[in-house]
Amino acid sequence: MPRNSDLNAVSRQWEMLKLLPTKPPGITSLNLQRELHKLGYSVVKRTVERDLQDLSQPFPILCNDKGKPYGWYWNPGASANLPAITLAEALSLRLVEDLLKPLLPQAMLSSLQAHFNQAQVKLKSLRQDNVAGHWKDKVRHVPPALPLLPPNINAVVLDVVQTALLYDRQVEIQYEAANAEKSSIQTLHPLALVQRGSIAYLVATAFEYEDIRLYALHRIHKVMATDHPAARPANFNLDAYIASGALHFGDGTLRLKAYTSHELANYLRETALSKDQTLLEIDDCFHLTATVIDSWQLRWWILSQGDGIEVIEPIFLREEIAKCLKSAAGKYT
Asked if residue 270 belongs to a domain, the reply is yes
Domain range holding 104? 87-138
* Residues paired with 172 in a beta bridge: 187, 224
Asked if residue 123 belongs to a domain, the reply is yes
Question: 279 to each of 260, 268, 293, 306, how far by Cα in Å?
Answer: 9, 9, 18, 19
Q: Residue 305: CB partners within 8 Å, gap ≥ 6?
A: 260, 264
Question: Would you mind telling me the total number of residues written for the chain in this entry?
Answer: 333
Asked if residue 146 belongs to a domain, the reply is no
What SS3 class is residue 192?
strand
Four-CA torsion 48, 54, 55, 61, nearest 10 degrees? 90
**67 DSSP assignment:** S
Q: Per the structure, how many domains does the chain have?
A: 4
Secondary structure (DSSP) of 32-49: HHHHHHHTT----HHHHH
> Is there a single domain that holds both residue 255 and residue 326?
yes
What SS3 class is residue 255?
strand
Name the residue among 290, 281, 332 with its Cα closest to residue 311: 290
Four-CA torsion 114, 116, 119, 123, nearest 10 degrees? -130
Asked if residue 117 belongs to a domain, the reply is yes
Name the residue among 140, 135, 37, 36 with its Cα closest to residue 91: 135
At how many degrees (to 10) do helices 106-126 and 87-100 cross? 140
d(CA 212, CA 208): 11
pLDDT in tens, the chain (333 residues): 345 555 677 778 888 888 888 888 888 989 988 888 887 788 888 998 888 888 887 778 888 887 788 888 888 766 555 556 677 788 888 877 877 776 666 656 665 776 787 777 777 776 666 676 677 777 777 777 777 788 888 888 988 998 899 889 999 999 998 887 888 999 999 999 998 877 889 999 999 888 899 999 999 999 999 999 999 988 899 988 888 877 776 678 899 999 999 999 999 999 999 999 999 999 889 999 999 999 888 999 999 999 999 999 999 999 999 999 999 999 998
d(CA 195, CA 271): 22
Q: Residue 75: CB partners within 8 Å, gap ≥ 6?
A: 60, 61, 62
d(CA 90, CA 130): 13
d(CA 243, CA 250): 11
As to burial, measured by CB atoms within 10 angstroms (0-12 exposed, 13-18 middle, 19+ buried), residue 130 is buried
CA 123-81-118 angle, 5° bins: 25
Name the residue among 118, 158, 119, 112 with its Cα closest to residue 136: 119
End-of-domain residue from the set 242, 275, 298 = 242
> Is there a single domain that holds both residue 15 and residue 35?
yes
> Is there a single domain that holds both residue 255 and residue 317?
yes
Q: Return the amino acid letter for 15.
A: E
Asked if residue 150 belongs to a domain, the reply is no
> pLDDT for 79-110, tens place per residue?
555 556 677 788 888 877 877 776 666 656 66
Q: Across the chain, how many H-helices and E-strands are there?
A: 10, 12
> Is there a single domain that holds both residue 188 and residue 255?
no
Strand 61-64 with 71-74, pairing:
antiparallel
Asked if residue 145 belongs to a domain, the reply is no
Q: How far is CA 31 from the centre of its chain?
A: 33
End-of-domain residue from the set 242, 274, 297 = 242
Asked if residue 112 belongs to a domain, the reply is yes
Asked if residue 221 belongs to a domain, the reply is yes
